[in-house]
């Protein structure tokens, strides 16, 4: 009987010792510090220029834009109008209000402020919906499938977006794009290499198009070949093309042609045409005229 009573007592002693060890371990461990605001990962919002700071730019109203203005719980103030050439609208109770060049939210705030200061509406909630965009436009000219003038329906319309709207470059279009306009009241010009837009570092050249910009796509560079070749005429000059590749584009020499009599007529910087005796690895230039002579033997 004595031995059977000892086992429960021994078990209770061992359990108490285990609990005391756990308490001592917890008191010895340092308390975890709460996460500070700087340590918490914050989400990034893409910016309109391709970075990670700032929010997407908001559309700004322009002359000719058709808009609908609604004041919450005031149906008598509902108005559909167009922004005039000088950037103003005529709003009930307020008269002439300048909204041209303002972001939509800024125009809403300006109208709401006028209603509140005039004691017409105590807490006005103004909403503006752009019905038709005609005030902010850019033109696309040159070698594109649908040249013309296109509205910039969003504030962050990029160069590639505008080119896509115009149907892309035609088969006769070159690889050089020219964007002109004004920035901060000064003339703006940007030459862009089309293939580089789609390279890893080409995002910086895919700039945001602004009102009044003109995008020009030049015809592709070309050279001319005549004489003893299979297909004389005008040829497209590819990037880095050599004389040997140009002859291949012309179908090669005829049976009477010789590569010893090849000449290139090239216009120099002064506008004068010079005759060059080239090697087969001579790099061709835009406007070169290649003449292949007939063999005498």
* Tokens standing for residue 90: 């005529």
3-state secondary structure of 130: strand
Q: Which long-range contacts (CB under 8 A, 24 or more apart) does 89-93 make?
A: 93/118, 93/120
- The C-alpha atoms of residue 75 and residue 113 are separated, in whole angstroms, by 18
> If you write DSSP's letter for every residue of 149-213 in order, what string do you get?
EEE--STT-BHHHHHHHTT-B-TTEEEEEEEEEEETTEEEEEEEEGGGGGSTTGGGGSPBP-TT-
Could you tell me which residue, 52 or 162, shows the higher pLDDT? 162
Bridge-based pairing state of the strands 137-142 and 214-219:
parallel
Strand partners, 149: 139
- The C-alpha atoms of residue 212 and residue 242 are separated, in whole angstroms, by 40
Contacts of 217 (CB under 8 A, 6+ apart): 140, 141, 142, 143, 144, 169, 173, 174, 176, 177, 178
pLDDT at 111 over 70: yes
Band (261; pLDDT cuts 50, 70, 90): confident
Bridge-based pairing state of the strands 263-267 and 273-276:
antiparallel
H helical segments located in the chain: 2-28, 104-117, 159-165, 243-249
Report the helix count and the strand count for the chain, using DSSP H and E. 4, 15
pLDDT for residue 161: 92
**b vs e for 62-97, b when ≥16 Cβ sit within 10 Å of the residue's Cβ?**
bbbbebebbbeebeebebeeebeeebebebeebeeb
Q: Residues 184, 185, 190, CA angle at the centre, nearest 5°?
A: 70
Band (297; pLDDT cuts 50, 70, 90): low
Strand partners, 186: 183
- The C-alpha atoms of residue 133 and residue 206 are separated, in whole angstroms, by 23
The answer to whether 203 and 50 are in contact (CB under 8 A) is: yes
The answer to whether 225 and 232 are in contact (CB under 8 A) is: yes
**pLDDT, tens digit, 9 for 90 and up, residues 192-214:** 988 888 876 767 888 999 989 99
pLDDT for residue 258: 87
**pLDDT, tens digit, 9 for 90 and up, residues 7-22:** 454 445 445 545 454 5
The answer to whether 177 and 191 are in contact (CB under 8 A) is: yes
Kindly state the average pLDDT of the residues 146-155: 89
What are the two backbone dihedrals, phi and then psi, of residue 10, each rounded to the nearest 5 degrees?
A: -65, -40
Band (259; pLDDT cuts 50, 70, 90): confident
Strand partners, 192: 177
- CA torsion, points 107, 112, 113, 117, in degrees to nearest 10? 150
The answer to whether 224 and 249 are in contact (CB under 8 A) is: no
pLDDT for residue 53: 36
User: Tokens 């209603």 identify what position?
Assistant: 115
């Amino acid at each position: 009987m004595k031995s059977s009573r000892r086992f429960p007592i021994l078990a209770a002693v061992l359990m108490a010792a285990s609990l005391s060890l756990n308490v001592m371990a917890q008191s010895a461990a340092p308390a975890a510090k709460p996460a500070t605001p700087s340590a918490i990962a914050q989400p990034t919002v893409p910016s309109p220029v391709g970075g990670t700071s700032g929010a997407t730019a908001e559309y700004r109203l322009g002359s000719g834009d058709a808009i609908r203005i609604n004041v919450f719980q005031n149906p008598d103030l509902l108005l559909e109008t167009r922004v005039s050439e000088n950037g103003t609208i005529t709003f009930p109770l307020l008269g002439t209000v300048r909204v041209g060049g303002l972001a939509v939210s800024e125009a809403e705030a300006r109208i709401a402020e006028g209603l509140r200061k005039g004691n017409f509406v105590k807490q006005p909630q103004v909403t503006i919906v752009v019905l038709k965009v005609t005030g902010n436009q850019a033109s696309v000219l040159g070698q594109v499938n649908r040249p013309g003038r296109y509205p910039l329906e969003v504030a962050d319309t990029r160069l590639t977006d505008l080119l896509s709207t115009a149907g892309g470059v035609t088969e006769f279009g070159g690889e050089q794009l020219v964007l002109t306009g004004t920035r901060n009241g000064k003339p703006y010009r940007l030459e862009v290499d089309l293939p580089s837009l789609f390279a890893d570092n080409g995002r910086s050249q895919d700039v945001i198009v602004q009102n009044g910009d003109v995008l020009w796509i030049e015809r592709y560079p070309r050279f001319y070949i005549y004489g003893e070749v299979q297909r004389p005429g005008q040829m497209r000059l590819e990037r880095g093309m050599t004389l040997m590749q140009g002859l291949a584009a012309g179908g090669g020499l005829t049976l009477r042609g010789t590569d010893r009599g090849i000449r290139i007529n090239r216009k120099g910087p002064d506008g004068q045409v010079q005759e060059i005796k080239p090697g087969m690895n001579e790099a061709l230039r835009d406007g070169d005229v290649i003449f292949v002579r007939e063999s005498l033997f």
